[in-house]
Amino acid sequence: MESTKGKLKSQEEESEILKAREAFVCINSKDKKNSLKCDAESVSGSVSQRACVYCGARVVLNPITDAYHIVHGPIGCASYTWDIRGSLSSGEEIYRNSFSTDLREKDVIFGGEKKLSAAIDEIVEKHKAKVIFIYATCIVGVIGDDIDAVCRTAEKKHNIRVIPVKSPGFAGHKSMGYKAACNALIELMGKEKPKTKDTKAVNYLGDFNLAGEAWIINNYLKEIGIKVAAKITGDGRCAEIMNAKSSSLNIVQCAGSMTYLAKRMEELYGIPYLKISFFGVEDTKLSLFKIADFIGDKAMAERVRAFVFKEEKEIEKELKYYRKRLEGKRAAIYVGGGFKAISLIKQFNDLGMETVMVGTQTGKKDDYEVIRSLCAEGTVILDDANPAELEKFMLEKGADILVGGVKERPLAYKLGVAFCDHNHERKEALCGFIGAVNFAKEIDLTINSPVWDYLRLEV
C-alpha cells in the first residue's frame, strides 16, 4: 500500500503545460516583467474549466425566484438547472423548475420559432407567468431563429414581459453569458430614467444567495440603517428588480458577473456603484465602512463602528481556536472571479495559512495585480486553468486543501487533497462575520479529518 500523494507524484512529473498556455501561468515574484495573460479566449485543446455562454447567463438569471426560464434548445442544455446551481428563496419556488423547447432534428431543419411561441403560450396559460426569460443556446444561434421577434410578439399577445437572453454557447465563454444576462436585466428594468430616488436604498448585485448569504448581508445593512431595495439576483423578485433604478447606490459583490450591469445602470439611471466583498472579516468590515461612508452620515458611521466591534468580539474566540489548528497549512484556490480569490487569500492569511496556488476563470488584470501583491513569492498564479495544470501545481506545491466549485472537487479528491466548496453546492453561508467562522470551521474539519491518514490507492 502506498499513499495517494506518492503514487500520483509520478503522473504529475509527466504533465506539461501546453506551449500556448504558458503566458496564462506565472510564478509570483517581485519582477514586474513576469506578467500574466488573462481576460482572453480559452486556448483551443486546453479543456478550460469555464462553462459556456448560456451557462454563464443561467447562473446569473436563474436565482430570480418568480421568473420563468425557457431554455430554447435541445433538452441537454436544460439539464443545467437549480438542482446543480442551487440558490435559496424566501418565497416563490417556481425558478426551481426548468422549461425547455426540447428542439429535435426536425426543428433544426424547419426552425424552432413556432415551438418557442407554443412554449410561451403554454406557460402563460398554465402558470399565469408575468416575466419569462428565453435563453438562446448553440443550435438556435446556428439555425438563426429570430427570438427577438418571437418575444416581441408574445409580449403584445399576453401583455407580459418576455425577454430574450442572447446566449448561444459558442459565442465566447462564461463571461459573455454574464453580459448577456445583464443585458436581459436592463431590458427588464427598461431604459427610461427613474422619476424619484430613495437616498437610503441600495441594490445588492452579484450575491446569488447560495446558502442564505443575501439574507445575512440584508440584516447587516438593515442594522446600520440601509435598505436593500433589490437583490440582484439571489432571492430576487421581478418587481424589485424593475424598481431597482430608483436606488441611490449599487453595491457589487461578484464583480466578474455584475460590474457590467453596474456600469450600464450608472450610464442609464445615474446610479454609482461600489465594489465590495463580504467574504472574510477584513473585507466585510471594509465593505460596511465603504458603504456607510458613501451613503450615510456621522451617525451611520458610528452605527457601523459599534456593529463591527460587537460582531468581531463575538467571533474572536472561535477564530483563535481555528487559527491554532490551521497555522502553516497550504491552500490552493481556483474560483470563478477575482474578487472571491482576493478575499480567500486574505482569509487564509488571517488563519495563518499560506496560499500556494491561486487561479480564476474570469479574473481581470486589476484582480491579478491585487492577487500578486497579497501572495508570497513562489505562489503559482494561473488564469483559465485546465484540470492537468491544477493537479500539477497542487502536487508540486504540496497543497493541503483546494477551494473551488463542483468541477474542481473530483480533482482534489483524486489526489487525496482536502476540498472546500465555495460555490453552488454548499449549504453553510460563507459571508459576513458568521461566514468567516463557518469557513474556518469547514477548512479545519476538512484538512484535519482523519480520513487523509487512511486514504490509499488500490494497488
Sign for the pseudo-dihedral over CA of 333, 338, 344, 346: positive
Interaxial angle between packed helices 281-295 and 298-326, expressed in degrees from 0 to 180 and rounded to the nearest 10 = 170
Determine the interface stretch with ligand SF4 among 3-11, 47-55, 373-381, 437-445 (rule: CB under 6 A): 47-55
CB of 173 to ligand SF4, least distance (A): 10
Sheet hosting strand 273-275, strand order edge to edge: 227-232, 198-205, 247-252, 273-275
Nearer to ligand SF4, 35 or 79 (CB): 79
280 vs 430: CA distance, rounded Å: 8
153 contacts 28 by C-beta, under 8 angstroms: no
Residue written as cell 478575499? 343
417 vs 75: CA distance, rounded Å: 35
**Interface with ligand SF4 (CB under 6 A), residue from 138, 182, 319, 345:** 138
59 contacts ligand SF4 (rule: CB under 6 A): no
In this structure, what are the phi and psi dihedrals at residue 291, rounded to the nearest 5 degrees? -65, -45
Nearer to ligand SF4, 54 or 68 (CB): 54
Closest-CA residue to 36 (of 394, 382, 337, 392)? 382
Which distant-in-sequence residues (6+ apart) come within 8 Å of 176 by Cβ? 53, 56, 167
81 contacts 110 by C-beta, under 8 angstroms: no
Nearer to ligand SF4, 168 or 404 (CB): 168
Determine the interface stretch with ligand SF4 among 50-58, 103-111, 223-231, 242-250 (rule: CB under 6 A): 50-58
Query: Under rule CB under 6 A, how many of the chain's residues touch ligand SF4?
Result: 8
**Interface with ligand SF4 (CB under 6 A), residue from 87, 98, 137, 209:** 137
**Interface with ligand SF4 (CB under 6 A), residue from 73, 256, 296, 338:** 73
203 contacts ligand SF4 (rule: CB under 6 A): no
Nearer to ligand SF4, 55 or 440 (CB): 55
Determine the interface stretch with ligand SF4 among 12-20, 51-59, 221-229, 338-346 (rule: CB under 6 A): 51-59
6 vs 13: CA distance, rounded Å: 12
Nearer to ligand SF4, 47 or 299 (CB): 47
| Strand intervals (E) in 80-219 | 99-100, 131-136, 161-165, 198-205
Identity of residue 90: S
CB of 83 to ligand SF4, least distance (A): 15
Nearer to ligand SF4, 62 or 218 (CB): 62
CB of 384 to ligand SF4, least distance (A): 16
Nearer to ligand SF4, 172 or 236 (CB): 172
Cell of 95: 425558478
Nearer to ligand SF4, 77 or 357 (CB): 77
169 contacts ligand SF4 (rule: CB under 6 A): yes
**Interface with ligand SF4 (CB under 6 A), residue from 26, 43, 57, 77:** 77
Closest-CA residue to 362 (of 34, 51, 47, 44)? 51
**Interface with ligand SF4 (CB under 6 A), residue from 24, 43, 54, 420:** 54
Radius of gyration for the chain, computed over Cα atoms and rounded to the nearest angstrom: 23
52 contacts ligand SF4 (rule: CB under 6 A): yes
* Residue numbers at the binding site for ligand SF4 (CB under 6 A): 52, 54-55, 73, 77, 137-138, 169
